Structure 1
Amino acid sequence: MEHAADGALSANAPASESDAGDSSEPHSRGLLGRLFGALGASTPDNDSEAPATPEPETAAAAGLPGIGNLRRMRVGDVAIPKVEIVAVPVGITRDELVAVFREQGYSRLPVFKDTLDTPLGLVHLKDLALEYGFGASSGRFSVKKLLRPLLFVPPSMPIGVLLQKMQVQRIHMALVIDEYGGVDGLVTLEDLIEQVIGEIEDEHDEAEGGFWKLEKPGQWVVLARAPVKDFEAEIGMTLADPEEEQEIDSMGGLVFMQIGRVPARGEVIKGENGVEYEIVDADPRRIKRLRVRLPGVAPAE
C-alpha cells in the first residue's frame, strides 16, 4: 500500500547516498537473494545446461504470482500511471509535507521541480521524522536536505532486471520514463515482489476485524478479496444478481464484473441498486481495497 516498501538511512544523508539501512533489511535481502537465485537458474544464459520448463499458460493469463513473472512481465505492466502518482514540489513546507504523508499513508514520496517531469529525488518519512520530529529543531526547513536518489527506467525493462537494480543500488522506488523523457509511471520494490509472492498486506492495508471495517452506519472499508456472500450477510443486502453470483466470489470481482475493467484509485462506481463502490487502493492489474456505501449514506467530506 505504498509508494515503496520501508527502509531508511540517516536523516542527514545527501541525495547521492543509497536508499537503504533498515533493521529489517537482512530479511528482505535474504528473500531477494532467493528470488534472484531462482531467476538465474532459468535465464537464457543457462539454457545450454538445462532447458527451462515452460510455465502453464493458464497461470500467465490469470496474472497469478510466480517466479516466472520476473522474466515475463515488464515494468510497464506493474507501474501505477502518472495520474495516480502522489508527489510533492521541492518548495513544500514542513507542515504541508507532514499533511501529505499523514493523508496518503506512504513512506516515500517523489519530489519534483515545477512539474513531475522534472523529478529531483524522493523524500522518506523516516528522514523527516528524525530531522524535524521528536522535538528536534533543525532551523529553516528545506526538503532538499532530505532528498534521496530515484531510479529511472523504461517501461520495457523486465521486472526481474529492475528488482536486481534495486537490490544492487539499494533504491526502492523507480520512475518509469517514456520515449520523450517524461515521467510515465512509478514502481516500488513492493510492487515487484508482489508479482512473485502475491499481495503484501501490512497494518495499513488490512481492515480491522477481518475482511471489512465499519466506518460509520451504512459505510464499510472492504478488502477486495472479501467473499461477496459473507459481506452480503453482514449488510443484509444482495449485491450480486444470480448470474453474477455464478461467476464471482470476491468483492473486487463484483466491481470488475460490473464495469468490465480494473478501476482506478479514487474512482466511484454506482451499482443499479444504488450501492456505491469507491476504490480506495488499486494498481493497474487489480483492486485491493474499496469503500462500500449503501444507498442514502452521504460520502465523507
Structure 2
Amino acid sequence: MFSDEPESRENLVKVLADAQAQGLIDSDALVMIQGVLEVSEARVRDIMIPRLQMALIDACEPLDSILETMLETSHSRYPVICDKKIIGILLAKDVFRAVVKGELKTKKDLEKIYRKPIFVPESKRLNVLLREFRAGRNHLALVVDEYAELAGLVTIEDVLEQIVGNIEDEHDAQEQENIQKRTASSYSMQAFTPIEEFNRFFNVKIEGNSSETMGGFLASRFGHVPQMGESMALDGFEFKVLKGNERRAELFEVKAIDDSIKVQIESDSEKVAS
C-alpha cells in the first residue's frame, strides 16, 4: 500500500495522513488513531480534574445535606472526605439502591456502602491507566502528586475522550445548537458538528463524508491538530480555533468570506426574522 515502512511515530502519523488523503480512512478515523497514539505518551496530570474543581462529599455533613449535594451535582461517583482525608468513594447507584430498599437511615448506613478509593500518581501514562481501569473494573481514580498529596481525580471517561472526543451524557451542560451566532458576521461551531449539519445551516455543499464531523474534516485540511488561534480559509469560510488543547480542537469561529455566501446567509437570516 505504501512504498516505505514508518521508522518513527512522526513517520507513522504521516503515513496515516497520506492514507486519509487517498481516501483509505476518513478524517474522523485519522483523528481517533492519532488520539490513541497520543494517549500512549500523555500522562494523568495532563487530563485530570484539579482538586479545587472536584465534587466531594464531606462525611461530616448531615445525611440530608449529603443527599442534597448528590442531587444538585448529578455525578455518578464521589470521593468522600473526612478531616481533609479521602476515606472512600460513594457511587450514586449504591445510594439509590439503599434508599429504595429502606437501608439508608443514618450516616452509619452510608458508611457501609463506601467503596475503596484507588490512587494513582499524576505521572502515570494514560495507556497504562486505561489498562488498569479495565483490569480492575474501576471508573475513577484519585490522583496524588510527588508529595503524596491529593492533586485531583481522573475517570475512564476522561481517558476515552482523548481518543474519541467529548462524551456527553444527559447531565452535561448542552449548547442549544452546535452552531450559534456570535456577532453580526461570525458564528461559533462545536468541533463535533456533522458536515451535513454545517451544510444545512449555511446552505452550502462542503465536500466530505456526511457522517464526518467538521472538527475531523478541518484537522485533515490543516494537516495537523490545529491549536488555539490558528485559522484557515476554506470553501468560502474562515475557520479559527477558539478552544481546544494539543490533542484536539473543540470550538471554532466561523466567518463567511465569500460574497455569495454572505448574501445567502443574510437572505436566510431575513427569512427567519420575518
State whether structure 2 residue 50 is matched by structure 1 residue 81: yes
Give the whole-Å Cα distance in 2 for the aligned partners of 1:223 and 1:158: 31
**Equivalent residue runs for 1:271-290 within 5 Å:** none
Shift of 1:186: 0.8
Larger helix share, 1 or 2: 2
Q: Measure the CA separation in 2 of the matches of 1:147 and 1:176.
A: 18
Larger CA Rg, structure 1 vs 2 = 2
Question: Partner of 1:71 in structure 2?
Answer: 40
Do 1:206 and 1:223's aligned partners in 2 also have CA atoms closer than 8 Å? no
Q: Report deviation, 1:139.
A: 3.5
Please name the residue that 1:163 is paired with.
130
How big is each residue's C-alpha offset from its partner over 1:116-168, in whole Å with a ceiling of 9 and x where there is no partner?
Answer: xx211210111111112x36254423332121122211111110111111111
- Provide the rounded CA distance (Å) in 2 between the counterparts of 1:171 and 1:84: 21
Partner of 1:274: none
Name the structure 2 match of 1:95. Answer: 64
Q: 1:128 aligns with which of 95, 98, 112?
A: 95
Letter of the 2:149 partner, please give it: G
Partner of 1:110: 79
Shift of 1:53: 5.2
CA positional deviation for 1:170: 1.6
Q: CA 1:136/1:119 → structure 2, altered by over 3 Å: closer, same or farther?
A: same
CA gap of 1:208–1:184, structure 2 versus 1, over 3 A, is closer
In the alignment, the residues of structure 2 paired with residue 86 and residue 212 of structure 1 have an alpha-carbon distance, to the nearest angstrom, of 30
Q: TM-score scaled to structure 2, two decimals?
A: 0.55
Cα distance between partner residues in 2 of 1:121 and 1:156: 22
Question: For 1:135 and 1:127, how far apart are their aligned partners in 2?
Answer: 11
Structure 1 pair 285–101 and aligned structure 2 pair: CA distance change class (3 A): farther
Offset of 1:51 from its aligned partner? 6.6
Partner of 1:56: 13
Q: Cα distance 1:287–1:107, how it changes in 2: closer, same or farther (>3 A)? A: farther
Paired residue secondary structure (2:79): strand
Code of the aligned partner of 1:98: L
Matched with 2:26 is none
**Is 1:212–1:226's contact at 8 Å kept on the other side of the alignment?**
no
CA distance in 2, matches of 1:287, 1:67: 17
C-alpha separation in 1, matches of 2:95 and 2:189: 31
Q: Aligned AA for 2:51?
A: K
| Match among 125, 145, 148 for residue 181 of structure 1 | 148
d(CA) in 2 for partners of 1:101, 1:286: 32
The answer (yes or no) to whether the contact 2:63–2:106 under 8 Å persists in 1 is no
Where 1:146 maps in the other structure, the secondary structure is: coil
Q: Take 1:200 and 1:127, find their aligned partners in 2: how far apart are those partners?
A: 23
Contact 2:191 2:249 in 1 (8 A): no
Q: Decide whether the 8 Å contact of 1:172 with 1:189 is kept in 2.
A: yes
CA RMSD across the alignment: 4.1
Return the letter of the residue paired with 2:13.
P
1:58-92 deviation digits (Å, cap 9, x = unpaired): x9xxxx54211231111111101111111112223
Cα distance in 2 for partners of 1:285, 1:113 equals 38
Pair 1:205 & 2:162 matched: no
Shift of the 223–207 alpha-carbon distance from structure 1 to 2, 3 Å rule, reads farther
**Unaligned ranges ≥5, structure 1:** 1-49, 214-221, 234-242, 263-283, 289-301
Q: Helix, strand or coil: the match of 1:171?
A: coil
- Corresponding position of 1:14: none
1:166–1:137 distance in 2 versus 1, CA, 3 Å:
closer
Tell me which of 136, 141, 147 is aligned to 2:107. 141
How many residue pairs get aligned? The number is: 186
**Distance change >3 Å, CA 100–CA 149, structure 1 → 2:** same
Alpha-carbon distance in structure 2 between the residues aligned to 1:164 and 1:76: 17
How far did residue 198 of structure 1 move?
Answer: 1.8
Task: Specify the SS of the correspondent of 1:123.
Answer: strand
